[in-house]
Amino acid sequence: MDHFVIRGGRPLHGEIAIGGAKNAGLKLLVAGLLTSERLVLSNVPHIADIATMRALLEQHGLAVHDLAGDGSTLSVGGEITNTEAPYDIVSKMRASILVLGPLLARCREARVSLPGGCAIGTRPVDLHLKGLETLGAEITLENGYINARAPKGLKGERIILPFASVGATENLMMAATLAQGKTEIINAAREPEMVDLANCLNAMGARITGAGSSAILIDGVEALHGAEHRIMPDRIECGTYACAAAITGGDLRLVGGQMDHLGAVVRALEECGVEVTQDGNTMRVRRTGALRGIDIMTEPYPGFPTDMQAQFMALLSVAEGASMITETIFENRFMHVPELNRMGARINVHGSSAIIRGVHSLSGAPVMATDLRASFSLILAGLAAHGETILSRVYHLDRGYEAVERKLAKCGALIERVRD
């Protein structure tokens, strides 16, 4: 397994290109299951999760072609020859569950393994299943697989989600595009990625309104067709590099970054004493004074995203005063705390909250990544620390961030990937 060697203490200056959104790209690839015609996606991020999804779609019978030669533009299309999503692929990535709705809508049957992914909480799929049952699906669980049938096709209904689940909203929205009649999803997730998915589906012939609000209306159609779509920039990658500028006392221009996609993250940065501005297609983040401690609670969008919690914990570990982060989305998402404390942070966890008492500086140490976002929190700590940090298990990082060492080194970081 590869590891990173980081020598900290250098402010970052320069420009970083923000890639296509992982959390949008995966779902947009899945949308290719809804038509036999060709869906062309550009601005595709070059990350491990995209490769996993590509393998999953190919075993369903779809052809996935690299049109640009560098993985940035992919075409997806073809007939579905296999409606089973096997454990060996699905276990690598939780987003694989999203093939369930499209397979069921188009083929009227699907057999999908229960998913895997980062070990940051149980994240049950019951909302996906109950929603599909509301649309008329017959679902059973057997030997670790979801068996779903809809012999007469899916039928539009009103679905009320008990909480704003991103995955369930996406799965049900895709399935409903080919259902008979109208489907209304109440308490739908409101993330920008939801709007991106709806825009792509509409370009394919779907009739979706309300995406980005808590009520999404889908008027089912008989078939979808091919389309071209550019994946939105990754707001979590953008927020992560904004934290890199902040924790090092640097000044970064994040090309493609959009403040209006980040919302609560921008407000939190500004409360910490970080300056964030938008200039056309570029977001600038710089810090000239000391960091201030703040309190944060993770919430569904437009609240503070759980995917930025670990990065802010690293940032607040060197802020003046005390801070508190309360995690309300996933119950096991503080696994990076012991690793940050190894580097000199002062963090105590009490149930769903972490109390952070800022220290003057961190010290480099050997640390281990535990999940995707935690990986980058340790990179951030290493960039700010005195001495050398060795980060192992960076395969977690490769699932969702592209060319991390190259992007950071270009802006003055001393970071090296060592291949074991």
Which DSSP string do the residues of 147-162 spell out, in sequence order? EEE-TT--B--EEE-S
Report the 10 Å Cβ neighbour count for 5.
16
Q: Are 99 and 85 in contact (CB under 8 A)?
A: yes
**Mean pLDDT over all residues of the chain?**
95
* 3-class DSSP state of 27: helix
Average pLDDT for 92-113 = 95
How many whole angstroms separate alpha carbon 14 and alpha carbon 37? 42
As a whole-number percent, the residues of the chain with pLDDT over 90 amount to 92
Strand 215-219 to 182-186 pairing? antiparallel
238 is catalytic: no
The reply to whether 126 sits in an annotated binding site is: yes
Residues 171 and 240 occupy one common structural domain: no
List pLDDT tens digits, range 236-293.
Answer: 999 999 999 999 999 999 999 999 999 999 999 999 999 999 999 999 999 989 999 9
According to the annotation, is 23 in a ligand binding site?
Answer: yes
Query: Is position 233 annotated in a ligand binding site?
Result: no
127 annotated as belonging to a binding site for a ligand:
yes
Helix (H, G, I), strand (E, B) or coil at 11: coil
| 299-328 pLDDT per residue, tens | 999 999 999 999 999 999 999 999 999 999
The reply, when asked if residue 7 is annotated as ligand binding, is no
The count of residues in the chain is: 420
Spatial distance between the Cα atoms of 389 and 349, rounded to a whole number of angstroms = 23
- Nearest CA-CA partner of 276 in 290, 297, 296, 262: 262
Q: How far is CA 376 from CA 181, 225, 244, 297, 368, in A?
A: 44, 39, 9, 20, 11
* Closest C-alpha among 52, 10, 8 to residue 400: 52
Arithmetic mean of pLDDT, 123-145: 91
Q: Are residues 223 and 281 in the same domain?
A: no
Q: Are 257 and 371 in the same domain?
A: yes
| Residue that is last in its domain, among 230, 257, 280 | 230
Peptide bond into 302 cis (omega under 30): yes
Residues 284 and 388 in one domain: yes
Q: Which residue has the tokens 């007939």?
A: 79
181 and 36 housed in the same domain: yes
Domain, as residue range, for 244: 3-18+233-418
Residue 123 marked ligand-binding: yes
CA 118 vs. chain centroid, Å, equals: 12
Rounded to the nearest 10°, the torsion over CA 361, 306, 374, 248 is: -30
Q: What is the pLDDT of residue 94?
A: 83
Residue 145 in contact with residue 166, Cβ under 8 Å? no
Closest CA to 83 of 66, 65, 64, 106: 106
Q: Are both 223 and 253 inside the same structural domain?
A: no
Given 204, 230, 256, the domain boundary residue is: 230
- Does 256 share its domain with 217? no
Q: What integer is the mean pLDDT of 162-183?
A: 97
Q: Are the C-beta atoms of residues 157 and 116 closer than 8 Å to each other?
A: no
12 and 103 together in one domain: no
SS3 at position 388: strand
pLDDT grade, residue 99 (50/70/90)? Answer: very high
Pair 165, 267 in one domain:
no
pLDDT at 112 over 80: yes
Instruction: Find the CATH number of the domain harbouring 206.
Output: 3.65.10.10
Q: Pick the catalytic residue: 118, 243, 272, 411? A: 118
Q: Are residues 226 and 258 in the same domain?
A: no
Residue among 359, 361, 355 at smallest CA distance from 323 = 355
- The answer to whether residues 34 and 178 touch, using CB atoms and an 8 Å cutoff, is yes
Let me know whether 204 and 216 are in one domain. Answer: yes
Supply φ then ψ for residue 312, to 5 degrees. -70, -30
Query: 169 with 123, same domain?
Result: yes
